[in-house]
Structure 1
């Protein structure tokens, strides 16, 4: 297996670690430390407030920092191979737009919205899951018109970019192209969007960015409900892409989702 751990764009690929070696990963605000010993693996992590726009880095170090408490995984003969596999979150991610977005009747637009991923820390050959770690700590939020109607989600914020050229490379977040059709007769004001990430596949592109299947939302004046469907990345977007994970759930045909929370008429 080639040693690719010095290539920041391939941090999610299988790697090797020698006995008594230790490695540090920084992905956005998350720092992960892995140490292999002859009969155990050690794993620790912490979150920082450093610039989350920095490129991911992988550094060989001598030991896991002493201020951290390491999880120990005892194995009679520890395997050398491991992998940090990005996964989409296990619940929808509700993203609040930093600036309100208004869409007139019979208009459509595509927004590029990113959401943080989690990591499955795996030993490989044979496969063994050590721990799932969220790259970014998100708060819980209830998304719906009342405490009886809705669902528990994660909360995040978004710039809701409408041009791919405006996207910055943040390998700890997955970009979802969201096409919104306003088929109603009223102005559509989007204050929040619920991104149904459990229904989406996750891909890695050669530049190190993570993308999901696109989502199309069609608003037809049914208050906060919208028809949604998933698609596949376009040929240009999918060029050189590697499928990292299939959708966790499959949506029902003609699904209605509670996609918006601030819809009103001007």
Structure 2
């Protein structure tokens, strides 16, 4: 059944399966299939090449595993009955390229809403066993930094960089990051790529079923200086009824993110 309201959109809520029953989840381009038996769980998944080949979001009882997929087996003396999927952000920063050029005049600021795909942690409950973590989308690798010696390995993605929150589509497989860009320099700021440090951001759900992250503020002072940044806490103004789902993967060490934001405004 395709999700139609905020409760249906909450694909991270636990599901309890009877013995010898199956369940499937379609989350954007990712399809996950599970089967519970008396002493084992089976898990398989596949990704569609485009979201159009899958329902955006659905979950339902299934007759069996798709025969073309190779399932993995997890063995127990007595299998737990409950399964839970949990969205988490990627394990490396995501460098997003804006689909249209973005320019911020001197002494101006703007808020961009930038989304990135999440990963899914598949866990059994009572007690909790993490079975697998599955990325919803395959992102290509990219190097982000001023040189091949200075920088870090990231994932690459594209974004519309929307500025109107009311225009955000419902995409339960991506998490939205509010990015405040402040241009305190004397030159026009031209923005084409942004490195979002997603491992350091928490994931929230909103009342409409979208996923959100902590916000980021970037302050650009000049062409030859680093961009100052800070992370914040998601507010009700950003996402109504926001509820914490997953904490950040990591706590940054001092100065650890400066490298990620060096050359952030490079063409």
1:42 aligns with 42
Question: Which 4+ residue blocks in structure 1 deviate beyond 4 angstroms?
Answer: 252-255, 260-264
* TM-score (ref. length: structure 2): 0.91
Cα deviation for residue 235 of structure 1 reads: 2.4
Residues of 2 paired with 1:47 and 1:41: CA distance? Answer: 21
Following superposition of structure 1 onto structure 2, how do residues 221-260 of structure 1 map, counting pairs within 5 Å?
Answer: 221=222, 223=224, 225-252=226-253, 256-259=258-261, 260=263
Residues of 1 paired with 2:107 and 2:172: CA distance? Answer: 35
Residues of 1 paired with 2:72 and 2:258: CA distance? Answer: 42
Cα deviation for residue 221 of structure 1 reads: 1.4
Cα deviation for residue 143 of structure 1 reads: 0.4
1:103 aligns with 104
Q: Using a 3 Å threshold, how does the CA distance of structure 1 residues 59 and 121 change in structure 2: closer, same or farther? A: same
1:68 aligns with 69
Cα deviation for residue 165 of structure 1 reads: 1.2
Residues of 1 paired with 2:144 and 2:92: CA distance? Answer: 11
Residues of 1 paired with 2:132 and 2:254: CA distance? Answer: 34
Write out per-residue CA displacement over residues 30-82 of structure 1, whole angstroms, 9 at most, x where no aligned residue.
01001101110000000012428954100211101000000011111000011
Cα deviation for residue 7 of structure 1 reads: 4.8
* TM-score (ref. length: structure 1): 0.92
Residues of 2 paired with 1:213 and 1:129: CA distance? Answer: 25
Residues of 1 paired with 2:84 and 2:209: CA distance? Answer: 15
1:140 aligns with 141
1:163 aligns with 164
Residues of 1 paired with 2:51 and 2:174: CA distance? Answer: 16
In structure 1, the gaps of 5 or more residues are 1-5
